[in-house]
């Protein structure tokens, strides 16, 4: 039996567990690493009515049950961080700690409209054709327009009815580390700090000179922040 602490890794929107491979390699020496791919991503079947944040949170809990993992540490990037916290508000005993990076917390109809305005296949094809090609390969056989549509719909429903609220976060007794890049226009430093303040056992850090994309974040820094926070949580110091 491995005595390594289990660490669940959750990817961001329009990505797959491949996004987490470099981080998984880095952390596998110390932890029993479990990268989880969300439905509809990376070639997993896309069922529009199951492509919701509520379902992604349920998927996290289902995975823990399937793998017989009683309580895990989690690193969630962007959307993955939101799904982890949404799952933790429902079943807090399954989580030993959660580190989020670049997670957008402040969902309203207006912020959802801003986030979804570029999620159109034709617009993207004109502006970022290489990215479109990359996404098309990553998510095959799911047609990219379908995935973009489902992602926009998920964001709009979060805008109308966010799963994370000041009230349910204030009741969350799980140690949480909220990391956000200083230059992250998606998550936003102020909103991230505000939501971290709602949680009784949260720590907040603004990472200097760092934008939203995961590959732009210093990997050594990220690795050390995750490891340090897990140690603090295990020692009951958060």
pLDDT in tens, 80-123: 999 999 999 999 999 999 999 999 999 999 999 999 998 999 99
Q: Is residue 182 over pLDDT 60?
A: yes
Backbone angles phi, psi at 63, to 5 degrees: -60, -45
Task: Transcribe 56-117 into DSSP letters.
Answer: HHHHHHHHHHHTT-SSEEEEEETHHHHHHHHHHHH-GGGEEEEEEES------HHHHHHHHT
- What is the three-class DSSP state of 177? strand
Q: Taking the mean position of all CA atoms in its chain, how far away is CA 122?
A: 26
Q: Is residue 162 over pLDDT 70?
A: yes
Backbone angles phi, psi at 102, to 5 degrees: 65, 30
Enter the tokens of residue 202.
């949260």
Q: Is residue 1 over pLDDT 90?
A: no
- For 41-83, write each residue's pLDDT tens digit: 999 999 999 999 999 999 999 999 999 999 999 999 999 999 9
Count of other CB atoms within 10 angstroms of residue 50: 15
Helices 144-160 & 53-66, crossing angle to 10 degrees? 100
Confidence of residue 173 (pLDDT cuts 50, 70, 90): very high
Enter the tokens of residue 196.
């971290």
Q: Is residue 2 over pLDDT 70?
A: no
Enter the tokens of residue 237.
């110091």
CB 127 within 8 A of CB 87: no
Average pLDDT over residues 134-153: 97
Average pLDDT over residues 141-156: 98
- For 16-34, write each residue's pLDDT tens digit: 999 999 999 999 999 999 9
The whole-angstrom separation of Cα 108 and Cα 116 is 12
Q: If we measure between CA atoms, which residue out of 64, 75, 56, 62 comes closest to residue 164?
A: 56
CB 78 within 8 A of CB 53: no
Average pLDDT, the chain: 97
Enumerate residues 6+ apart whose C-beta is below 8 A from 56: 38, 39, 79, 83, 86
CA distances to 15, 147, 217 from 137, in Å: 11, 12, 24
Backbone angles phi, psi at 41, to 5 degrees: -115, 150
pTM: 0.97
């Amino acid at each position: 039996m491995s005595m390594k602490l289990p660490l669940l890794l959750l990817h961001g929107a329009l990505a797959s567990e491949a996004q987490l491979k470099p981080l998984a390699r880095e952390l596998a020496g110390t932890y029993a690493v479990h990268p989880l791919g969300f439905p509809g991503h990376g070639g997993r079947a896309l069922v529009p009515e199951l492509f919701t944040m509520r379902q992604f949170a349920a998927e996290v809990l289902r995975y823990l049950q399937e793998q017989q993992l009683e309580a895990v540490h989690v690193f969630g990037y962007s959307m993955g961080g939101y799904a982890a916290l949404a799952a933790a508000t429902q079943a807090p005993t399954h989580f030993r700690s959660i580190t989020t990076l670049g997670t957008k917390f402040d969902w309203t109809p207006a912020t959802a409209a801003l986030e979804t305005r570029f999620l159109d296949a034709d617009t993207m094809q004109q502006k970022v054709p290489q990215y479109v090609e990359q996404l098309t390969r990553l998510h095959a056989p799911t047609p990219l327009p379908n995935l973009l549509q489902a992602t926009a719909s998920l964001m709009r429903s979060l805008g109308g009815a966010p799963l994370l609220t000041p009230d349910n976060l204030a009741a969350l007794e799980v140690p949480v580390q909220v990391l956000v890049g200083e230059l992250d226009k998606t998550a936003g430093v102020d909103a991230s700090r505000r939501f971290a303040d709602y949680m009784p056992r949260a720590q907040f850090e603004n990472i200097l000179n760092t934008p939203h994309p995961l590959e732009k974040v210093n990997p050594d820094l990220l690795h050390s922040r995750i490891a340090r926070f897990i140690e603090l949580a295990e020692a009951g110091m958060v």
